[in-house]
Amino acid sequence: MAVATAVALLAALGGALWLAARRFVGPRAQRLHGSGDAGLMHGKTVLITGANSGLGRATAAELLRLGARVIMGCRDRARAEEAAGQLRRELSQAGESGPGPGPGPGPGGAGELVVKELDLASLRSVRAFCQEMLQEEPRLDVLINNAGIFQCPYMKTEDGFEMQFGVNHLGHFLLTNLLLGLLKNSAPSRIVVVSSKLYKYGEINFEDLNSEQSYNKSSCYSRSKLANILFTRELARRLEGTNVTVNVLHPGIVRTNLGRHIHVPLLAKPLFDLVSWAFFKTPLEGAQTSIYLASSPEVEGVSGRYFGDCKEEELLPKAMDDSVARKLWDISEVMVGILK
Ligand SMILES: NC(=O)C1=CN([C@@H]2O[C@H](COP(=O)(O)OP(=O)(O)OC[C@H]3O[C@@H](n4cnc5c(N)ncnc54)[C@H](OP(=O)(O)O)[C@@H]3O)[C@@H](O)[C@H]2O)C=CC1
Ligand SMILES: CC1=C(/C=C/C(C)=C/C=C/C(C)=C/C=O)C(C)(C)CCC1
């Protein structure tokens, strides 16, 4: 038994070191061809939920560099302001030594960063946020539903929803619906939804959407990610002819803070860290598809599709079931109070 464990550990270690070497030798994350032009997003307003960490932060950094006005919709103002300060510093440092006419708003220059409070676990917060957006923002060119929570212990949102279903799906469902008018007035505009390959293990159990009968943290995460895809397809159908597109993606496996609820034994932590460092994407690599769908001219007019690594991918039949998508939409409207 001990020998087998040692062999397994050595194999994992060897694999991780080989992959780590490959990452150093291989090409680092290239900025997207064609959409890396400074100023590409000049004059455009982008809202990113959960932009203070991981994928959302990396997405914000790149779109800011491309000249967008980036609104960070975050639940914790201190963490968001800290992230915004870091992003502004990174940008000005790059501006001093980077290409192009240097930092600061203006044609070819970088964009600007705005922090607004948004807690997707509170419908009251979502409504207040959207009211502020509609009062203060003349346009919204891109909405990126990025925020997410992964395999947390059983918790409920302020409105009584299972936390992962509430944050990953229902909060974004209400947010998107309340901002649709602004997106339509800003057309051509785009909605980008961040899902996950783990949708494949999800089922929409209409009898127990809040998992009150039984709770399985990974099934609930997968359910919320399947809901992201069904929401995207139903929304794309409802947006036909409006010049507002909506697409959904998976970023691969990315080294972020998403694993905060995973308990890793202290002794195993160094191995997990090595494995994730060797195997997982960096946030910049993981964010490439979000950036692509938000900014690339290649997908102008494309809607209702599922992407990975900046390429369209096939979905399992359960993610293409339009009757389930419509039923989820109708129930979601009631749950968030759009329909009484
Ligand atoms: N990392 C990965 O391997 C994968 C990630 N994804 C998806 O990528 C997206 C981004 O996650 P990732 O960057 O990895 O993880 P992080 O934990 O680094 O970022 C998640 C972001 O969501 C925010 N968030 C969580 N709960 C709420 C809430 N109630 N209201 C507002 N914002 C909230 C977090 O805010 P705070 O900092 O305050 O917690 C944080 O900014 C998620 O949708 C996730 O499902 C999909 C597949 C793989
Ligand atoms: C980074 C990291 C971890 C988290 C991993 C996570 C959160 C993976 C999420 C994968 C998903 C959501 C895949 C979806 O397709 C651990 C294991 C805590 C250990 C330390 C390093």
| Count of structural domains, the chain | 1
Q: How far apart are CA 330 and CA 214, in angstroms?
A: 24
Range of the domain at 154: 40-93+109-336
- To the nearest 10°, report the CA torsion of 267, 273, 276, 277: -150
Bridge-based pairing of strands 311-312 and 244-250 is: unpaired
Site residues for ligand 1, CB cut-off 6 Å: 49-50, 52-56, 74-76, 79, 118-121, 146-150, 167, 194, 196, 250-251, 253-254, 256-258
Tell whether 273 is covered by a domain. yes
DSSP H stretches of helix in the chain: 2-25, 54-65, 77-97, 123-136, 163-164, 172-185, 217-238, 269-279, 283-286, 288-295, 322-336
Q: Which atom of ligand 2 is nearest to the CA of 196?
A: 15
Q: How far apart are CA 51 and CA 275, in angstroms?
A: 25
Tell whether 185 is covered by a domain. yes
Residue pointed to by tokens 């020998």 = 3
ipTM: 0.95
Tell whether 2 is covered by a domain. no
Tell whether 98 is covered by a domain. no
**H-run or E-run covering 114:** strand 112-117
Q: Answer whether 259 contacts ligand 2 (Cβ < 6 A).
A: yes
Q: Answer whether 206 contacts ligand 2 (Cβ < 6 A).
A: no
Tell me, yes or no, if 215 is annotated catalytic: no
Q: Answer whether 281 contacts ligand 2 (Cβ < 6 A).
A: no
Q: For residue 117, what are the β-bridge partners?
A: 74
pLDDT in tens, 223-249: 999 999 999 999 999 999 999 999 999
Q: How far is CA 210 from CA 154, 204, 223, 279, 305, in A?
A: 10, 11, 11, 33, 27
pLDDT at position 39: 81
Burial (CB < 10 A; 0-12, 13-18, 19+), residue 19, is middle
Q: State the ligand closest to the CA atom of 272.
A: 2
Query: What's the whole-model pTM score?
Result: 0.91
Q: Which atom of ligand 2 is nearest to the CA of 150?
A: 12
AA letter at 239: L
Q: How far apart are CA 68 and CA 142, in angstroms?
A: 10
Tell whether 136 is covered by a domain. yes
pLDDT at position 33: 40
For the chain, what's the residue count?
340
pLDDT at position 216: 98
Write the residue with the smallest CA distance to atom 18 of ligand 2. 259
Tell whether 14 is covered by a domain. no
Residue 246: CA atoms inside 13 Å, Cβ hemisphere, count?
26
Positions of the chain with pLDDT lower than 70, given as ranges: 1, 9, 12-13, 15-36, 96-108, 340
Write the residue with the smallest CA distance to atom 17 of ligand 1. 258
pLDDT at position 29: 46
Tell whether 151 is covered by a domain. yes
- To the nearest 10°, report the CA torsion of 80, 182, 283, 227: 110
Q: Which atom of ligand 1 is nearest to the CA of 120?
A: 30
Which member of 154, 201, 221, 292 is catalytic? 221
**H-run or E-run covering 12:** helix 2-25
Q: Answer whether 46 contacts ligand 2 (Cβ < 6 A).
A: no
* CATH code of 152's domain: 3.40.50.720
Tell whether 4 is covered by a domain. no
Q: What is the DSSP secondary-structure string of 141-179?
A: -EEEE-----SPPS-B-TTS-BHHIIIIIIIHHHHHHHH
